[in-house]
Amino acid sequence: MDRVSLLIGPIGQLVTAKSMPWRYGDPILVLENAGIAVNGDKITDVGSWDSISRKYEGKCRIPAEESLVTTGLVDPHTHLLFAGSREDELELKLEGVPYEEILRRGGGIYRTVSATVSATDDELRRILLTRLFEVAKYGTTTIEVKNGYGIDPDQEIRLLRIINDSSVNAPIDIIPTYLVHVPPRNMDRREYINAVINSLDNARGLAKFVDVFCDEGAFTVRETRDLFKEALRRGFGLRLHADEIAYIGCSDLINEFSIASLDHLLNLPEQNVRLIAERGSVATLLPVTILSLMSSKRPPVKALRNAGAPIALGTDFSPNSWSLNMQYVMELATYLLGMTPMEVIMASTVNAAYSLSLRDRGILQPGYLADIVIWDVPNYRWLSYELGRNKALIVIKRGMILESTPSGTIISKECT
């Protein structure tokens, strides 16, 4: 018998993609009475509990007869690092003042920039870590975190450093992105773009991706193109906030660049649906933001599916869309966007990992990272069926069990 650090089983129901990315209709592994063997930070074996329990002896074992087990959730789009809040904009929104108008008046992102720039490094570190601990409780084991509330390039680099520093104490993996968010209100736009481009050299090693908010009220297609060219030359991957408020041609950039993920897509034109699929990109949908924008628009889920475009889901946590909970995103994706329970799981695991160019997680198979969630639900449909409860029972990150302490934080422990 081989000795491993952790055995999970018997498992009521195990669900995983077989390969990445997952496209609607691709095969899925659904195993009843399953088992997983983990050694160190990796999965060693997955199969029937009968065969796993005969082959392996675990240093410890977690029984999960009543549970669904999936790989850890991946949140591929967050604005996790900012100070302050904007709950007072709610009444404005209810009066019908649109997001872009609030921004034009110096509210929205600009207000959050003031609060963030005034906060000390220590304050921001604390805010970020607290949020990361909460995120982990909901079953997210990898998260993308953008800067973007500094505007001044030196401030943006400061925020990227804080994001990177926090990786050391974070309970989960962080993928940092340099977001070029909104143009400053008191500076020539061209000068600003040039300053951002210069700062990209200092962002090397601090961010994996460059992202641009290309939209009405933010950056133009031309400005985004210039930023993307320079980002590519410096070896960054590309992500894009596209067609969120309006279609001004942003998603057309998929013709010119290899973009890992196009996000939001509330106004995505039909011809670009096909292109996302053909160009090997991912459509990342952010349903919490549809609510927070109070928008009646929807991303074209059916068309994306039919075209064979991989769909990912993310929280888009920001002062405008305050939810750290990927489970809430999964619920909304089902009830608001019409995605199936299985599609929603694939979008929040394997495809979200793929959109971040991570090929070592998101699937329960030997050799993949042992990022695993044991859910307090009996089957995969239940995950997006039941609304509003934290259904994550046990979260395992790189083979370590994450545990809540009485102070509310999470520490990882080797099971004994």
| Residues of this chain that bind ligand NIG (CB under 6 A) | 79, 108-109, 112, 213, 241, 244, 289, 316, 318-321
Long-range CB pairs of 94-99, under 8 A, 24+ apart, other chains included: 94/294, 98/245, 99/245, 99/293, 99/320
Q: Please identify, using beta-carbon distances, which residue of 5 and 318 lies nearer to ligand NIG.
A: 318
Q: How far apart are CA 406 and CA 389, in angstroms?
A: 20
Peptide bond just before 27 cis, omega within 30 deg = no
Q: Please identify, using beta-carbon distances, which residue of 118 and 169 lies nearer to ligand NIG.
A: 118
Contact indicator for 200, 206 with CB cutoff of 8 Å: no
Task: Tell me how long the chain is.
Answer: 416
The distance between the two most distant Cα atoms of the chain, rounded to a whole number of Å, is 69
Half-sphere exposure of 209 (CA within 13 A, CB side): 28
| DSSP assignment string, 327-353 | HHHHHHHHHTT---HHHHHHHHTHHHH
Shortest distance (Å) from residue 315 CB to ligand NIG: 10
Shortest distance (Å) from residue 264 CB to ligand NIG: 7
Cα 233 from chain centroid (whole Å): 25
- Phi and psi (nearest 5°) for 384? -105, 0
Shortest distance (Å) from residue 371 CB to ligand NIG: 25
Q: Please identify, using beta-carbon distances, which residue of 5 and 177 lies nearer to ligand NIG.
A: 177
Residue 262: its H or E element: strand 261-264
Strands (E), 104-260: 140-146, 173-180, 209-214, 237-242
Q: Which residue lies nearest ligand NIG, judged by its C-beta?
A: 320
Shortest distance (Å) from residue 142 CB to ligand NIG: 19
Shortest distance (Å) from residue 149 CB to ligand NIG: 7
Burial of residue 114, with CB atoms counted within 10 A of its CB: 0-12 exposed, 13-18 middle, 19 or more buried:
middle
Q: Please identify, using beta-carbon distances, which residue of 241 and 398 lies nearer to ligand NIG.
A: 241
Q: Please identify, using beta-carbon distances, which residue of 42 and 158 lies nearer to ligand NIG.
A: 158
Residue 404: its H or E element: strand 400-404
- Phi and psi (nearest 5°) for 393? -95, -55
Q: Please identify, using beta-carbon distances, which residue of 79 and 225 lies nearer to ligand NIG.
A: 79
Q: Please identify, using beta-carbon distances, which residue of 86 and 305 lies nearer to ligand NIG.
A: 86
Q: Please identify, using beta-carbon distances, which residue of 112 and 220 lies nearer to ligand NIG.
A: 112
Please, which residues have CB within 8 angstroms of residue 396's CB and are 6 or more apart in sequence?
Answer: 6, 8, 38, 72, 141, 370, 371, 372, 373, 374, 402
Q: Please identify, using beta-carbon distances, which residue of 243 and 244 lies nearer to ligand NIG.
A: 244
